[in-house]
Amino acid sequence: MKVLISDDLSKQGIEILKKAGLEVDVRSGMKPEELKAVIKDYDGLIIRSATKVTAEIVEAATKLRVIGRAGSGLDNVDRAAATKKGIVVMNTPGGNTITTAEHAIALLFSVARQIPQADASMKSGRWEKKKFMGVELYKKTIGVLGIGNIGSQVARRCLCLGMNVLAYDPFLSDEKAAELGVKKVELAELFKNSDFITIHTPLTPETKNLINKDTIAMMKDGVRIINCARGGIVNEKDLLDALESGKVAGAALDVFEQEPTPPDHPLVKHPRVICTPHLGAATVEAQENVAIAIAEQIVDYLVHGVIRNAVNFPSIPPDQVPVLQPYIDLAERIGLFASHLFEGGITEVTVEYRGEAAGINTAPVSVAAIKGLLTPLLQETVNFVNASIIAKERGIDVKETKAKEAGDYSTLLSLKVRSPQKELLISGTLFSRRSPRIVYIDRFPVEIVPEGIMLLMYNYDRPGVIGNIGTLLGKNNINIGRMHFGRESQGGLAISVVNIDSEVSEAILEEIRRLPNIISVKLLSLP
């Protein structure tokens, strides 16, 4: 398998890829048309911030299985296009945490004491002590927007400086806030009460232009703003106007809407703005960390099939693989089985977890069930990455439920498939915690090994049904591997599943349909 590295990457990462047996090409600085021309030859792509993986590039990537970003930001990757095509997109969210947090603190000191401006003044031959009057950080209030990996580290360091820390994050729990020692507040309160505001959120439609003329108007007069997150979160024109009016006393920016910035960018030239050229992750340690991390993740996926830090598929840590893999296999087989039985348009799918199954990481298991359900219809166009989005595009509502009780089984996984007219329920379990079995088809208890070629028949529970089936298959030289039966009551409706060693023709299926007490027959084939 081949991996393309299209941006600068530390040598340690390249060596990890090569030692794993991957063929590696390093071609940094390619133009978009050059990348588009060669990407068809690669199974993996590793980038940093320079390469733009557009929808056009993704469309040209006929073999590509994974895009790895050595760093946390992914605004240079068209994730929707990659997901739709079934390409895993992963990053290294922890590799530059400390480095970026330290850079934010460095900018915090710099904007409070105007250190770069004073340095430039002295180097130009002046001694302007009175011009650069600063403010203390001690006992000041800083608002931290986003308490993820980086924001949490910034908050801890600010607390050590004797600052009061206000924190806003839609996912911040009361328990986590208490553990960090920060005060959890709503956005408006943070804007209103902060002397300094530092930004540590991703750039999303919700955070784009989060700092604008309206939110700045809510802030204290003389507030100072630090942004080491992403350009576009701060509206640059509105910030410039606030600096000019004096509403904002100073700003320290490591990121910009356009990078590299134009030489005449008004914020870069503003005397009360400190600028650095996207240096948040620019340390020797961070570059090595993210290179090693992304290389190991690429190897894990391409060589071992383990997904970590994917943004478009539930990650499976290596220590969870032995537990989850049997469930993933069971769920996919249940989905495949259901797809063969259910006819008509699907509007709703519910994946139910009972007993021990309710305690696992269910996200990748549910994806496996959806992938299995859609595979017979869409074949190679559906995989574990794009199954959920394909289901959504087709108007299929996917749900999950969990329950502690599993009836007669210690663990039970069920798939309910619905349309406005009908419903199908397939339930399965794991024998010896590894071997998949289907144990219910609707109301029929069964014990089916879901693999190979199978004949599934609905019939009336009458004497001679099993013998007739066996005789007909034997007459046509078709060997039976297993037979499974279930009935709702003695003499009532029943289900018969026969594993056979070879395919059967439509003519033989028609013969089976004509046997006494046979209601219907389907041919199933599972890997």
Exactly one of 69, 278, 354, 487 is catalytic; which is it?
278
Catalytic residue at 136?
A: no
Strand order in the sheet with 423-431: 397-403, 348-355, 411-418, 423-431, 435-441, 444-448
Name the helix (H) or strand (E) containing 122.
helix 115-123
Distance from C-alpha of 251 to C-alpha of 265, rounded to nearest angstrom:
14
Q: Which two tokens stand for residue 364?
A: 């990748």
- Active-site residue, 308 included: no
CA-angle at 28, arms to 24 and 29, nearest 5°: 155
Q: Can you spell out the DSSP letters for 421-466?
A: S-EEEEEEEEETTTEEEEEEETTEEEEE---EEEEEEEEE--TTHH
Residue 148: partners with Cβ closer than 8 Å, 6 or more residues away: 93, 169, 200, 201
Strand bridging mode 223-227 / 248-253:
parallel
Whole-angstrom Cα distance, residue 521 to residue 473? Answer: 14
Q: How far apart are CA 122 and CA 111, in angstroms?
A: 17
Nearest to 128 by CA among 136, 119, 137: 119
Burial class (CB in 10 A: 0-12, 13-18, 19+), 459: buried
Distance, CA of 473 to CA of 482 (rounded, Å)? 13
Q: Point out the catalytic residue in the list 23, 136, 186, 259.
A: 259
Residue 256 class from Cβ within 10 Å (0-12 exposed, 13-18 middle, 19+ buried)? buried
- The Cα 498–Cα 487 span in angstroms is 15
The closest alpha carbon to 433, from 369, 520, 381, 360, belongs to: 360
Backbone angles phi, psi at 18, to 5 degrees: -65, -40
d(CA 247, CA 239): 9
Has 278 been annotated as catalytic?
Answer: yes
> Rounded to whole angstroms, how far apart are CA atoms 360 and 428?
15
C-beta of residue 228 within 8 angstroms of C-beta of residue 104: yes
CB atoms within 10 A of CB 291: 27
Q: Is 483 helix (H, G, I), strand (E, B) or coil?
A: strand
| Catalytic-role residue among 230, 437, 484, 487 | 230
Catalytic residues: 230, 259, 278
